[in-house]
Structure 1
Amino acid sequence: MAVLLDTTVLPRSDRAEAFYTAMMSASVPSRVEHEDRHGDVHARMDFWQLGASDLFRNEGSGIRLVRTPKHVRIGAPERLALAVQVIGSGLFSQGGADRRVHTGELMLVDLTAPYEFAWTGRGASQAFQIDYDDLGLSVETVRAAARRLPSSPLYELVLHHLTVLPAVGDSLQGTRSASMLGAATTQLVRALLSSAAAEDSQRHPSMSDVLFTRITWYARRHLTDPDLGPARIAAEHNISLRYLYKVFSEHHLSFEQWLIGERLEGARRQLASPASRYRSIAAIAAEWGFVDAGHFTRRFRRAHGLTPQDWRRLNQA
């Protein structure tokens, strides 16, 4: 987590300007109006980088953010934000629609269009921000979803996920898993928006996408567990083995081959690491679930075109 702003360490006269600078660095250009126009501004802004996406939390005294057509013309990354109101309630306006966003509710903001958002007194909001290119949905789909987010069967799941995301993000900062968490969250948001924008008959593929994301996220965190296999994964996600295989087949994958590929990739990274220079290839293979060193060598060469020994020699020369 990076602390972008903490007004408790700033002179009162500098807080409004510092707030504006921090807000512009974390989000898109907009006009900032403070409830206390004489500068009694209280705020803390925290920021988590999660691969290509990010999480931004703002807590403090009353504000009003106005993104005008002029701001849109100035240009900014084509992004959207899915925010949860953590403290207080806010008034959000976009596309001719006004709504009150209460504590514990989601709000979808299309950052490529004008909008207004404000709260009075103390409030807090945290937003997961994604580029449209990474989301893979059209602007039309996003805007259709914005009008009916609570209709999605994924609403409560995504709400809970975003609520606990800061604590999880703190524990993963600086690791490869932080990017994986961002990618998994993007998948969840995509499924939420797709299901909210679609007719009921079109929602089931999105549910499968969510389950696939949860399973692959779980499996990647436990790749070195000796007992990680289809039976354990199915039990952890309260599904049958048959349905587990069906979820992967819908993504044109074999579960077993996907798991072997992920473990081979983990072993490949470890073989190239200076920290593993003095570990035997057999020990590294066993750690990643390959008890037969000969089988590991054959699979590794088939996947990467080199034997494990040649790969290690190439990367640790």
Structure 2
Amino acid sequence: MAVLIDTAAMPAGERVDAVHTAMIEATAPSYVIHEAPERGIRMLMEQWFFGDTRLVRAQATGFRLLRTPKQARQGIGPSIALSVQTRATVRHAQYHAEQQVPQGGMILADISGAYDFSWSGDGGCETLHVPIDQLGLSVEVVQRAMSGMTHSPLYGLMIDHVRRLAADAEVLAADPSAPDVGAATTDLARALLVSAGRADGRQARRVLAETLLTRVRAYVRAHLGEPGLSPESIAAAHNISVRYLYKVCAQADFSLRQWIIAERLRRARAELADPAASGRTVANIARRWGFTDPTHFGRRFRSEYQVTPGEWRRQNLGSIHVPDALDLDSLP
């Protein structure tokens, strides 16, 4: 992780210039207009890289980021930003279109163009930056996608993916697989823009076919806690047959069922080691991640990690008291 700016220990008189410099580094040349500088300026901005894809998380007091047509003509590498608003409502205007996006929503911006972006009060966002040349899409498709994003069936899936990527950014960015994570993220963004940007039929079919496995993985991660998650429900959600789903997985040497179980175990393992979840029983956590049979969960967990769920929890939570409504340690 790189901290682009943290004003917490910075003298008040230095903050305006420091924020401006950080904004230019994170986005592009622009003007930064603070909402109420007399009440204090605060900003924390962090950045992680996943190959050519970049994730920026920002928390700040109210401001307006204005990039003029003159600044846009200076020419930077064209890239898009998919920004999920984690706090406050954001206003974004670009290409004669303006939108108000509440907390939890997402905007699409062409960083190389002129734009007007702002929020009031304490706000925050998690923003994915993707070079346009990595998407293989025309600027026209990107521009059309700006107004059609919320109508795409992939809109919520992309929001969930950005939030999960941000939650695990420190670990994922340091992993050798970081470029692969970035490539998969770019594929999902590409599919979203094609869906929202009304690309021509041939291009849309090609992109959606090429990104199917990426979209399937993102869909599964968003629905892991549902006991009814199955190849049948996954295929139905993507308007394909189960046979075709298995064919795509086989071509990628990818076992869908085993991967779902592995992902559920991984999420359960992380929650068992989380002090914030110490009030939940092992059985409750197992159910939260789609395991309806606690006995089956205990066996699969021990097979995968060579310890029982209870042992893993005690190793990681130490003296923190956890409830033992069901003892899975004694399972054969």
TM-score when scaled to structure 2?
Answer: 0.65
CA shift digits 1:182-233 (9 cap, x unpaired): 1111100100010112279776655544432256899xxxxxxxxxxxxxxx
User: 1:56-75 alignment to 2 at 5 Å?
Assistant: 56-75=56-75
- Say whether residues 1:111 and 2:108 are aligned partners: no
Q: Which amino acid aligns with 2:9?
A: V
Q: Take 1:111 and 1:238, find their aligned partners in 2: how far apart are those partners?
A: 34
User: Is 1:43 aligned to 2:5, yes or no?
Assistant: no
Q: Give me the whole-angstrom Cα distance separating, in 2, the residues matched to 1:173 and 1:131.
A: 18
CA change 1:18–1:39 in 2 (3 A) is: farther
What amino acid maps onto 1:87 in structure 2?
Answer: R
Cα drift, residue 64 of structure 1: 0.3
* Residue number in structure 2 paired with 1:164: 164
Give the aligned residue type for 1:243.
Answer: Y
Residue segments in structure 1 that go unaligned for 5+ positions in a row: 219-233, 260-317
Secondary structure in 1 aligned to 2:168?
helix
TM-aligned CA distance change 1:39 to 1:31, over 3 Å: farther
- What code does the residue aligned with 1:42 have? R
Aligned to 1:139: 139
Kindly provide the amino acid, as one letter, of the partner of residue 188 in structure 2.
Answer: L
Aligned mates of 1:208, 1:94 — CA distance in 2: 30
* Distance of 1:246 and 1:69 partners within structure 2: 48
| Count of aligned positions | 239
Separation in structure 1 between the aligned mates of residue 183 and residue 21 of structure 2, nearest angstrom: 28
1:1-317 correspondence runs (5 A):
1-38=1-38, 40-198=40-198, 206-213=207-214, 238-239=234-235, 242-247=243-248, 254-256=251-253
Cα–Cα, structure 1 residues 236 and 27, in superposed 2: closer, same or farther, change >3 Å?
farther
Mapped contact 2:216–2:234 kept (Cα < 8 A): no
Indicate conservation of the 8 Å contact 1:12/1:39, yes or no: no
CA deviations on 1:249-305 (whole Å, 9 max, x unpaired) are xxxx9445x99xxxxxxxxxxxxxxxxxxxxxxxxxxxxxxxxxxxxxxxxxxxxxx
CA RMSD of aligned residues (A): 2.7
Q: What displacement does 1:179 show?
A: 1.1
Shift of 1:91: 1.1
Unmatched tracts of structure 2, length 5 or more = 220-229, 236-240, 256-332
SS in 1 for 2:73: helix
For 1:201 and 1:72, locate their aligned partners in 2 and report how far apart those are by CA, in whole Å: 31
Give deviations 1:90-117, integer Å, cap 9, x for gaps: 1111111121111111100011211101
Contact 1:144 1:197 in 2 (8 A): yes
CA spacing shift, 1:25–1:16, aligned 2, 3 Å: same
Looking at structure 1, the residues matched to 35 and 78 of structure 2 have their Cα atoms a distance apart, in angstroms, of 29
Answer yes or no: is the 8 Å Cα contact 1:180–1:217 preserved in 2. Answer: no
CA distance in 2, matches of 1:215, 1:197: 21
Rounded Cα–Cα distance in structure 1 between residues aligned with 2:23 and 2:56 = 10
Residue range with higher mean Cα deviation, 134-143 or 166-175? 166-175
Which structure has the bigger radius of gyration? 1
Q: Give the residue type in structure 1 aligned to 2:68.
A: T
1:43 and 1:34 mapped to 2: Cα distance? 11
TM-score by length of structure 1 reads 0.68
Q: Distance in 1 between matches of 2:178 and 2:120?
A: 34
